[in-house]
Structure 1
Amino acid sequence: MRHLAIVPILLLASSALAGCASFSPDSGMGVVSEVTEQAIGKDVAFVRSVDEAATVDAAVKRLLARNLTADAAVQVALLNNKGLQAAYNELALAETDYVADSLPPNPTFSVSRISGNGASEVERQVVGDILGLATLPARSEIARERFRQAQLKAALATLRLAAEVRRSHVAAVAANETVALLTDAKATAESTAQLAKKLGETGGMNKLDQAREQVFYAEITADLASARQNAASSRERLARLLGLWDGDLGFRIPGKLPLLPKRPLEQPSIEIAAVGHRVDLQIARMEIVALAKALDLTEATRFVTLLDVAGIDKRTHDPEAPPFRERGFDVQFQIPIFDGGEVRVRQAAETYRQAMNRLTEKAVNVRSEARDAYRVYRSTYDIARHYQREVLPLRQIITEEMQLRFSSMQVDVFALLTEARQRLASLRAAIDARRDFLLAQSELQTAINGGGSAGAASTPSSIASAAQPAAGGGH
């Protein structure tokens, strides 16, 4: 009979424990894997043991043994980037918060003993938060929504890294192709400059034309140095995103950008696809649900914020009197004299309205970003296709005709070099056009699935502007 006073508290706590959450085997990574697979068709891994690390390392080694395409680079980053692993650690921490919030509050046990004049008194109390137990289902549901948000945030971080890697890979390959082009141009310019010098020594070319040939060679040399530096920086940025260091820095990437597809993608309902698939929009919707439940809970508990019940067992021992024992309970709650909960309700309501406005704004922006990304995608495809089908073939014809006329002495060296400058400019513009299309293709995927930067969407040209070497004069 000595524990009858605390039985109701323990029974209530036991019933609450039946609905408590437990830790999942994968720390919530199932949602991340599913979203990543559906959006970009890649695998993810949360490394938490030596065996898992060895498996991931072996997979990365296999990928690095081949020429690293954009898809392979994305897969390496998703397996090897430590910043992404830190984001998965955040997800695991969010699960601990979810489990903690779904547990009932721990009861408090206290013992006090007072003695004097030969008598002693022992009092024991077990205090339980009844309000915490009563609101546990609602709080647990809110915590579950927060954990679902954390899962999608981890998926969003995954998509964001994949988009960054794809853009960096395109920029690095384009830089390599530009270096190769300028290397060939420098060899041609060097031969021509040497020829011009010999002609000048024999009186066959005046100083003005000699200076023109020399300055063309000098400009190409400087331009090539800038292009090589840009290629090295682009490669280093890619290596950082892939999480590579030490012995893995010798990875290989293609020397040329891939060819254009035969036809562009048709996206007649691009806005619907974006609104239905954007991960950041799903997170905002979940925030609304969680805040709505929090508002309901706040309104339900606005008048009572503290309700404790204590089971009391008091015994008195006095040698001159018979033993005395008392049992009972004590209830404590706040009286809402000064604050009737209106402040908390108002705060919760305004937070909910704020989230609704932000969700509406995000939905509007998502639709706009999708339309703009598709327009840029089609525009860059048409421009790159124009260079591939019109400009470069015509330039090839002009170059061949100029060489025939030079061989028959119908044009001089200066005219031939003028054409070489123009052809070099067209070839570089064609590389830039293909690079911009591939960047726009990546941005289109990002606009549909999410994973872009927090700021406004950038055009492909602005994305790659920092990676462009300074152009030499006259090109």
Structure 2
Amino acid sequence: MTVASRMAHAAAWGLLAAGCAKFTGDGGMAPVADGVRKEIGKDVAKLTSAEDNRRARERMQALLAGPLSEDTAVQVALLNNRGLQAAYNDLGLSEAEYVQTSLPPNPALTVSRLFGTGGFVEIGFQLVGNLLAAATLPARTEIARREFEEARYRAIATTLSLSVDARRAYIRAVAARQRLALLEQSREAADASARMMKQLGETGGANKLDQGRVAVFYAELSAQVAQARLAVAKEREALNRLLGLWGTDLDYTLPARLPALPKAAEPVADVEVEAMRRRVDLIVLRYEIVTLAKSAKFVDATRYMSFLELGGGFRNELENNDAGEQTSKNRYGLELGIVIPIFDTGEARVTTAREIYMRAVNRLAERSINARSEARAAYMAYRASYDIARFYETRILPLRRQISEELLLRYNGMLVDVFELLAEERERINSAIASLDALRDYHLAVADLQAALIVGGTVPPSGVINTTPPPETIPLGL
């Protein structure tokens, strides 16, 4: 059996073993939807038609009809955020690349016709196929399949990351609104005190110093209210961007207050184990390492033979015999094209593949260590923020109310002046704001803990190298 025959035989077996991948019909979204639903209990959908957009919009508008809760905000973001849809388009591109890679190489057909003295001289055709591409089709298809699976987990990671960002934005928006309401309530009380002090001054019951102190207190609160209103607008716009809202959809309602602090913090048995088991970025990197290992083996196996073509040819020639008559002769043959590795022995490609593989291994090791640390830190922040918020709620605020009530009694009994009363009111407002900030930080810590356990940091781009043989050939003859 000749070399060409052996290569053709190997190519035929490669084609039979590989088969052709088929499109899933949903762009590979089924595992993504299942994974997201399992982790956070929310629905996702890739919008590929006008009907899909209509259904998603109808559901989104139903969710926006009532006061927006944290879970509702997350669901709206997953239905309406166009950046997320772009990530799903990336998944579709990965599927298309997988299907394309699984297809056998197309043969090339060349037809020739020659003319000379007396008319037609020769006609021929040649059918050429890339033997190396056909023989390595199963290996390349398997690599592309794993890249497609990796892309699915990347889509899950992007979805979960968006859900955490939406939770954070929602918490900040509601907290900013609650802070504004607290400051406006305090300013109303200060306004009443300022008017009363002005009236007392007109009757001689209050001196100008006391009137000035009350007036500046009211002015400072007014400035804080203006700053709080700006913060409300900024935080709401940040939430709008993540939810993908504009136009009439912006008229949704946020609750006036953050959810109350739970009676107890939720314990987590072993946050490190949970992070190592659930974090999607680690799963993606594990997939990438296996894929890179297969790629490195593929490159090493084909380092000396990066292109190989086999062609079958037929020629019909007209020749003049001794009697001067034209006769027709048919000629058949094979043509083999191969790159001769004189200068490029493939060592650079092999080294590149190995370095990319080791880079992924080291990246996974680093990410695993960081994941454990991030999970521990997030859980510590969660427990500490709960304790701080609980301390404000059960100790500091009750004591502030008690002090304010006692000082007001003393002021009414003319035992303290207005300066002490205003100083205490400032401290009470500051404590109320600090308590609100502690409650906000607790809810943010819950979202951060969720991120540390299931999402992690940004997943780096894939390091899989291109294993397509270069389009080079040197024909060795027919």
Q: Same fold (TM over 0.5)?
A: yes
CA deviations 1:441-460 (Å, max 9, x no partner) are 100000000055579xxxxx
Is 1:431 the counterpart of 2:432? The answer is no
Structure-1 residue corresponding to 2:362: 357
Shift of 1:154: 1.1
Aligned to 1:205: 206
**Offset of 1:206 from its aligned partner?**
2.7
Shift of 1:211: 1.7
Tell whether 2:360 aligns with 1:337: no
Q: Which residue of 2 aligns with 1:447?
A: 452
Higher deviation after alignment, 391-400 or 254-263: 391-400
2:144 and 2:342 mapped to 1: Cα distance?
31
Using the TM superposition, give the Cα deviation of residue 163 of structure 1 relative to its aligned residue in structure 2, in angstroms: 0.9
Q: Deviations over 1:273-297 (max 9, x none)?
A: 1011111111111111111000110
Who is 1:389 aligned against? 394
Partner of 2:474: none
Q: Encode CA deviations 1:249-277: one digit per residue, 9 max, x unaligned.
A: 10011110111111112123101110111
Aligned to 2:61: 61
Aligned to 1:311: 312
Is 1:31 matched with 2:31? Answer: yes
**2: CA distance, partners of 1:342 / 1:190:** 81
C-alpha contact 1:260 1:434 (8 A) present in aligned 2? yes
Find the residue that maps to 1:329 and give its secondary structure: strand
**Structure 1 residues 453 and 194: CA distance shift in structure 2, 3 A:** farther
- Give how far 1:389 is off: 0.9
RMSD of the TM alignment (CA)? 2.0
| Other-structure match for 2:101 | 101
SS at match of 2:68: coil
1:159–1:451 Cα contact (<8 Å) kept: no
- Equivalent position of 1:233 in the other structure: 234
1:150 aligns with 2:151: yes
Whether the 8 Å CA contact 1:17–1:103 is kept in 2: the answer is: no
Single out whichever of 12-21 and 266-275 deviates more from structure 2.
12-21
TM-score in terms of structure 1 length:
0.91
Aligned 1:129-148 pairs, distance under 5 A: 129-148=130-149
Aligned equivalents of 2:367, 2:97: Cα separation in 1: 27
Where does structure 1 lack aligned partners over 5 or more consecutive residues?
456-475
- Corresponding position of 1:86: 86
For residues 84 and 245 of structure 1, the distance between their equivalents in structure 2, rounded to whole angstroms, comes to 17
Does the CA-based 8 Å contact 1:157-1:451 persist in structure 2?
Answer: no
- Among candidates 320, 326, 334, match of residue 321 of structure 1: 326
TM-score, normalization by structure 2: 0.90
- Contact map agreement 2:154 2:459 (CA 8 A) in 1: no
Distance (whole Å) between structure 2 residues aligned to residue 43 and residue 158 of structure 1:
10
Structure 2 letter corresponding to 1:405: R
Q: Which moved more, 1:16-25 or 1:221-230?
A: 16-25
Conserved in 2, the CA contact under 8 Å of 1:16 and 1:136?
no
Amino acid at match of 1:418: A
Distance 1:210 1:224 in 2: 21
Counterpart-to-counterpart distance in 2, 1:269 and 1:44? 30
Confirm whether residue 124 of structure 1 aligns to residue 129 of structure 2: no
Residue by residue over 1:315-366, the C-alpha shift from the partner in whole angstroms, topping out at 9 and shown as x without a partner, is 1135722210011211111222222221211111111111111111111111
Instruction: For 1:149, give the aligned amino acid.
Output: E
2:476 equivalent in structure 1: none
Contact 1:84/1:157 (CA < 8 Å) preserved in 2? Answer: yes
Q: Which runs of 5+ in 2 are unaligned?
A: 461-478
Determine the C-alpha separation between the residues in 1 that align with 2:360 and 2:14.
Answer: 36
In the alignment, structure 1 residue 42 sits paired with structure 2 residue 42: yes
Report % sequence identity.
47
Q: Distance in 2 between matches of 1:133 and 1:14?
A: 6
What are the within-5 Å matches in structure 2 for residues 276-315 of structure 1?
Answer: 276-315=277-316
Q: Is the 8 A contact 1:108 1:127 kept in 2?
A: yes
> Among residues 354, 378, 381, which one is paired with 1:376 in the alignment?
381
Q: Indicate the residue corresponding to 2:179 in structure 1.
A: 178
Deviating more after overlay: 399-408 vs 420-429: 399-408
1:401 aligns with 2:406: yes
> Which residue of 1 is the match for residue 371 of structure 2?
366
Q: 1:189 and 1:11 mapped to 2: Cα distance?
A: 87
Bigger CA drift: 111-120 or 175-184? 111-120
CA gap of 1:271–1:14, structure 2 versus 1, over 3 A, is closer
The answer to whether the Cα contact below 8 Å between 2:279 and 2:455 also exists between their aligned partners in 1 is: yes
2:218 maps to amino acid: Y
Q: Is the 8 A contact 2:276 2:371 kept in 1?
A: yes
Contact 1:302–1:342, Cα closer than 8 Å, also in 2: yes
Q: Is 1:74 matched up with 2:74?
A: yes
Single out whichever of 96-105 and 413-422 deviates more from structure 2. 413-422
